[in-house]
Structure 1
Amino acid sequence: MSTISENTDVTSPWKEPKGAKILNVNAHVHTPYSFSAFKNITEIFQLANEQDVKVLGINDFYSTDGYEEFSQRAGEFKIFPLFNIEFIGVNQKDKEKGLRLNDPGNPGRVYMSGKGLNYPPKLDEPYASQVNEIKQEVIKRVSQMLDKTNILLSEIGSDIKLCMDEIFEKYAVDLVRERHVAKALRIKVFEKFVSVQERTEFFKKLYDGQMPGADLESNVSVENEIRNMLFKAGKKAFVEEGAKAFLPIKLIKEIILNAGGIPTYPLLADDAKGDYTAFERDKEVLLKELKDRNVHSVEFIPNRNNLDLLKEYAMFFWKNGVLVTFGTEHNSPDMIPMKVETRGGVDLDDELKSLSYQGACVVAAHQYLKSKGQEGYVKENGERNGDSLQPFVEIGHEVITKFIQ
């Protein structure tokens, strides 16, 4: 196995070993342990296998409970597993400034991922209790939204009633989120009302006389509309998130590092209009800000982004020594391809496919080195281990190749 060295130029292209193949990677997929387009983890690996994805990263909110099953299926399908996690936190200083980071609707709020956590998962106290408290806060809020939804259903004379225990039993595993409530309601409505006309009348009543705009034969369209009409800010079943629902970003980074992972900033990048949040608008300023905050890894969900703009940002960060990964999330009812694409279903080009694989190799190397009691891509204090990505790419390539063969 290769060893870490300090003398590789970070901007030099990866010299692929003779006969090496650039593998398809999806480094960010949610499972039913948070919310997922998939019914179970096996279904995730089946689709990955069909689309020739050879490296797959679990990335659930607040939870590592799916790791064991994910690891088992990875072994069965010979698809290399990356063990990740995701949090939603807040940076108070950014909030006070009104600065929008990677949540365009909420100043100071930050999505933060951890890449390459320890497997089996291990989290010391008080961190384990703090993560569990956050999960309970999420469930408490969703339970209140469910209660408000039941009141609305009663007010329009419907005998449909939602039950938290039933949602856990049928649709959720470790965490219930508002998407689960929308799914449960859509299923009950579709079971009770078969025709489009009946469904139209029901939702018109539920939406205070407003005609539904969703395709009432589409699971995805209806669930998305239920969320928008009932659960968003200002709507009748909305419940505001309390202060306890968001940990400080500093603490989230400590939790990720304690769990053996790499603190990672999920970069929104360009939206459909080509706009960026204030925090992300200038990539050179963003690079400096992330390094000042001791964050040395970013990830993209390319189906949000224009291919050329994505490439501009992704290559810039990689060439400046920042780990870059790509994923699809699958954190909605939409069953999009498992193979990573950019906005409009445009495939990654060869350079981005190579970059995607190299990024996954760095995470794989980090996991491997940590499992051997060594320092990985980042040290326990979050600082970079060395000044080059390439030695980790080489180690990770060996680890992945041995696993899938």
Structure 2
Amino acid sequence: MNKPLPVSIPTPSSLLFARRTLIAALAATPVLPALAQFRVEVSGVGLTQLPIALVPFKGQDASPQKISEIVQADLERSGQFRGVDASGQALDEASRPDLALWRQRTADSLVVGSVTRLADGRFDVRFRLWDVVRGQDLGGQSYTVPQGDLRLASHRIADYVYEKLTGDKGIFSTRIAYVTKGGSRYSLWVADADGENAQAALASPEPIISPVWSSNGQQLAYVSFESRKPVVYVHNVASGQRRLLANFRGSNSAPAWAPDGGSLAVTLSRDGGSQLYTIPASGGEPRRLTQSASIDTEPVYSADGSTIYFVSDRGGAPQIYKMGASGGAPTRVTFSGTYNISPSVSGDGRWLAYISRVGGAFKLHVMELATGNVSAITDTSADESPSFAPNSKLIVYATHLQGREALMTTTLDGKIKARLAGQGGDIREPDWGPFQKQ
């Protein structure tokens, strides 16, 4: 993975820290299939997983999607739940289950439901959640959706269950963006949080890197090499329309949305070395934030918008620093290791995820910002591009696993990982989108 860029592609110094920009790593890969579908493989054991039973939804054998299976996969991938055998039972949302039976099966909670095809072709999806231990009905919901939204309905059921049982908001109906290379073609994809239902937002014969969601989930900023140099675009996900944001002299890279959506931080070399600037989301003249002889790049905002974390070699090697969102004197954040890049800050402000080079391997690390305590949470050696789920409980990242490119999610302690493995093509650059308005 740690290779130079191809000679035919510009190599602005501002991009060299980020392994996401090492386009040569995207070279010899098989041709991407028409849709980048994934399978979910969950591994690891958490300390406090909640046992939950999901009875196959009544009518789902005739449904294009197996609702209960999608919900169970979501919950298990979170690291908070483990499935309990629910075979041999026929229940739906109107049933009064024998909770003593489910206690015998060691379930703490129970999900039942149904899916019915309506005369107009839509589907009626209903469910109910039971607290088996307390013998309580925890409510339920119903959704009337077209066939294409059956997976979304399943994810919303998982969100409901997750929030009721953990107190934290579920992230299963959110979306991720990522980039693939198949043959000589690069594609920017938007997919469900489990990697399924991928839709191509953009395809190009030139590299696409660094996609990042706006805080309202309606836009993606990214860097394209269509002009044979890095240029920043903003892309409307719903309409597919895009606009040029930054195409100044030199390189334009590493966009990061401010939480209010009104501006972006970018790395520009327009005035010489690579430095940080802010630019209005509608475009316009950038305002310079850093004034150094070093390379400053990869900005990310804290959730409250008050702080920018970034990568700089001002100390002699790439490390992560922070400063006020309007600039000012930076403070160094990472001290463990000699090469730390690709910062991502959790929405609750508690955690910093980043990539550290350890003995030639690139590994995902998580720092608790209040204490500075750092944990290495992977045993792989080519990790890149970490991004927090909007509830701050999971991280998505790209890596090499068993000789293949893969997207992974992990809990913050590294105990539960899920592999979202593509069927072909090189998968890179994941970014986890915000909560969706329902």
Under a length normalisation based on structure 2, what TM-score does the superposition of the two structures give?
A: 0.23
Higher relative contact order (CA 8 A, sep 6+): 1
Under a length normalisation based on structure 1, what TM-score does the superposition of the two structures give?
A: 0.25
Q: Which has the higher strand share?
A: 2
Q: Which has the higher helix share?
A: 1
